[in-house]
Amino acid sequence: MQEADSIVARGPDPEIAGKRLLVLGAGLWQVEYLRCARRLGVETWATDWSADAIGRDEADHFDPIDLKDREATLDLARRAHVDGVLTAADIGVPTAAFVAAELGLSGPGLQLALDATDKGRMRERAKAAGLNCPWFQRVREAADASRFAAALPVIVKPIDNCSSRGVRYVDRPASLADAVGVALDHSRSGEALVEEFLTGVEGSVEAFVQNGAATMLGFCDKTKSPLPDRYDLELRYPGDYPQDVVRAIEQLVYAIVRGFGVKDAILHVEFLLTAERRLFLVEFAIRGCGSKVITHLLPQLTGVDIVRAIVRQALGFPTSVRPDRQRHGALHFLMFPPGPVRAVHGVSDALSIPGVIDVCVERAPGDTIDVVRDGRSRPGHVLVHGNSRDDVQAALRAVRSAIRVEYDGGTISAPLNLDTWTYA
C-alpha cells in the first residue's frame, strides 16, 4: 500500500481547496475518492443506502440516502451548497448527472448518464453511431423467451445492472425462460436484453476525457468465469494485443466519445476481439473500473494520480493527465470453494511479496463463502505490478501460495489456480 500512496497528492490543491464535493456511495470502492478529496483540501459529503457504509467516517459529512433517490440527493446538494458531485457506482451515475444538471455543475450530462446505464439505449445509440455490436432484442416477459430458441447460443442480461448480476449464457431452449426470469429479477426497470453470444478475447480500456479529447490510461485482456456465468477472474495490463488491435481499441474509444457526445468523463469500455480480429463493443460506463483498478492499480502502472483528476473534473477544473510509464500489472480475483469460514491465513505474508499493491479476502471467520454467480459475490482480490507480464504472474503465484482459507470441519483450501482450474 505504500507504493500506491507514492502516486497520490500529499497535500491540499490550492485551486480546489475549500470546495465542497458530494460523493454518491460510501462503499469499499468509493473510499479512496473520499480520502483523496480530503487530502486535496476539499470538504466532502457522502451518501449511501447503508447507514453503516464503510466509507461514512472517511467523509466530513454523511447522509444515509439511497443513490437512486434523485430528489433527496438534490435536496442535500442544495443544502450543502456543493461545488461538484461524483460517483464511482453505476447505480449512482444517473442521480449524479441529474444533480449536476439541476445545479449547473460539471458533469457528463443526463442523456449520456442514461445511455451508459441502460444497455438497451446504449446498444441503440452505438448501432446508430456505426459501432460493431452484437444483435440484441429487448424483452419484458419470461414467457417471450421462446422466440429466441432459433438464435441460440445467446447472452441474457438485465438492461440496467452491473457487475454481471443476472447475466447468463444460454445454449438450450429449455433454459431460456429461467435465464430471462433471472435477468428481469435483477433489472430495476423490469426489462432484459437477449444478445448474440460472441466468442473471442475480452478486455477493457480506461480513458480520461476532457473537453471531448480522450487520454488512454490502460487496457487489458481478461480471463472470464466458466459458462454459464460471465464475470471477470483476472485482468492483465497492458493487454497482449498486436499494434493494429491496440489502434482499433483506441479508435473504439474515440468513436464512443464522438457518437455519444462525451465531453468530460472517465470512461470504462469493455470490448471483445473475435478470432477474425473484429472488435465489438460489449458495453461502457462513465465511471472507472472498480475493484481498485482506477484508485490503486493504474496509478502504479501509469504514474497518473487518476482519482485527483476525477475529483478536479467533478469540481470543474481541468487536469494535465499524461501517463509517464507503462508497467505491467493485474487484478486477480481470489476464488475459494463455498463453505463456512473458520479462519483466513497468509494475507499479511502475501502483502509483503514484492510487487503486491493490495490483497483483500472479504470473508472473515464466521462468514460463509457462497457459490459465485456475479462480480459482487467474489470473495477476494489481489493487485500486483511488475516490469513484465512474467513478473506479474510470478507475484500472483506467490500470493496463491501464501493464502489459505480454513473451513469449519478443518478443510483448508488455496485460491483457485487459473492455469489448472484447481484449488492448489
Pick the CATH number of 136-196 from 3.20.20.140, 3.90.1150.10, 3.30.1490.20, 2.40.50.660: 3.30.1490.20
Mean pLDDT of 294-320: 96
Instruction: For 337-358, write each residue's pLDDT tens digit.
Output: 999 999 999 999 999 999 999 9
Q: What is the pLDDT of residue 345?
A: 98
Assess whether pLDDT exceeds 60 at residue 229: yes
DSSP 244-274: HHHHHHHHHHHHHHHHHT--SEEEEEEEEE-
Q: What's the rounded Cα separation, in Å, for the pair 176 and 183? A: 11
Question: Within a 10 A sphere around the Cβ of 218, how many other Cβ atoms?
Answer: 25
Assess whether pLDDT exceeds 70 at residue 109: yes
Tell me the fold of 329-413: D-amino Acid Aminotransferase; Chain A, domain 1 (3.30.470)
Q: What is the pLDDT of residue 9?
A: 63
Q: What is the pLDDT of residue 5?
A: 41
Q: What is the pLDDT of residue 143?
A: 84
Assess whether pLDDT exceeds 90 at residue 129: yes
Confidence category of residue 60, pLDDT binned at 50, 70, 90? very high
Q: What's the rounded Cα separation, in Å, for the pair 301 and 267? A: 18
Asked whether the domain spanning 136-196 has the same topology as the one spanning 2-113, the reply is no
Per the CB < 8 A criterion, the answer to whether 64 and 50 are in contact is yes
Mean pLDDT of 114-127: 94
Confidence category of residue 126, pLDDT binned at 50, 70, 90? very high
Instruction: For 267-306, write each residue's pLDDT tens digit.
Output: 999 999 999 999 999 999 999 999 999 999 999 999 999 9
Domain boundaries, the chain: 2-113, 136-196, 329-413
Tell me the fold of 2-113: Rossmann fold (3.40.50)
Assess whether pLDDT exceeds 80 at residue 405: yes
Assess whether pLDDT exceeds 90 at residue 8: no
Percentage, residues of the chain above pLDDT 90: 88
Assess whether pLDDT exceeds 70 at residue 7: no
Chain-centroid distance, C-alpha 145:
29
Q: What is the pLDDT of residue 3?
A: 39
Per the CB < 8 A criterion, the answer to whether 393 and 401 are in contact is no
For 53, 117, 120, 388, the CA distances from 334, given in Å and listed in that order, are 23, 28, 32, 21
- In three-state secondary structure terms, 133 is coil
Instruction: For 132-185, write each residue's pLDDT tens digit.
Output: 999 999 999 888 888 888 899 999 999 988 777 889 999 999 999 999 999 999
